[in-house]
Structure 1
């Protein structure tokens, strides 16, 4: 299982320029960028369809609302694309074993990937936080856990949105034939 390295995230500032690019970029490109935040096509199309957003708080409110309205199918689609945060490379083998065992137990019980938002979490505390999260959430009933997972996905989407707007997600917005990260105004 390949797991990315957890890092303490620092919110990328969203500028008026990047929000304007999001508001005016072609719909399919906006959808692709949003899918880097939360892999639900319905969620991404809904946010794209409601453009333009006057400011970041309006967009974040729409992100939350659309995430709260995920259908069971949308939630399944989004969870299927999630991966656990990675362990730092110098982590002891026993930690990898513990994380693998906990993840396997979680996925066996609930039938989907474990999602957890580590925004603001120092890297040296991430493993304990993930393991504690898995262990405590294993006691949830499946419907309760889907709600918890949906809330974690919403938090992940909010945290990933600034990078997507700045063109730092897996997809980048292109306006007038240039990538947003090439724009000196960003």
Structure 2
């Protein structure tokens, strides 16, 4: 666990590419922390500016996520929360998810993370429960790699959403906030 605490982070923040290139480094790091809760990742993305376009920013963010150390991953995982169940999920689903997550946390020492951005809302619950049950069978090192990839996908989705939202703040992706 990190010796420091992450700063209080805002909710979803719109980040225009122009702002990414011109914002003070500390302000940008703070905004990037809302995408992936790793100080090192946010610093690396901020320190490699300027970015000619959103694609270059996303590529740099992906690359920085691949380079995270186990301590950086632990920091990011510590700040994540359980995936939200779709609206209208029945109480048995909440009970099943809570039980599966308790087993997962006991086995791996961190909350279960999964990126469901590309999953249709009516399939999210089944995918979530199937994934957590399946991943419980992973060895700790294998699961660390899977969790790291899911964190990278979550960060990318959050960053894409922030960039898209900055261009048109009245739109959203299927009404859902990525990375949740």
TM-score by length of 2: 0.80
Counterpart for residue 47 of structure 1: 45
2:31 counterpart residue number: 33
Contact 2:35 2:155 survives alignment (8 Å):
yes
Contact kept, 8 Å, 2:86 with 2:124, in 1: the verdict is no
Aligned to 1:136: 134
Distance 2:109 2:103 in 1: 10
- Kindly provide the CA deviation profile for residues 62-102 of structure 1, in whole angstroms up to 9, marking residues without a partner as x: 11111011101100000011112212342211111100000
* Structure 2 unaligned regions, length at least 5: 1-13, 170-180
* Cα shift at 1:166: 5.8
1:72 aligns with: 70
Gaps of 5+ in 1: 1-13, 169-179, 182-186
Query: Which has the bigger relative contact order, CA under 8 A and spacing at least 6?
Result: 1
The residue aligned with 1:96 is: 94
- For residues 32 and 165 of structure 1, what CA distance do their matches in structure 2 show? 15
Report matched runs for 1:138-177 at 5 Å. Answer: 138-165=136-163
Structure possessing the higher radius of gyration over alpha carbons: 1
Tell me which stretches of 4 or more aligned residues in structure 1 moved more than 2 Å: 162-168
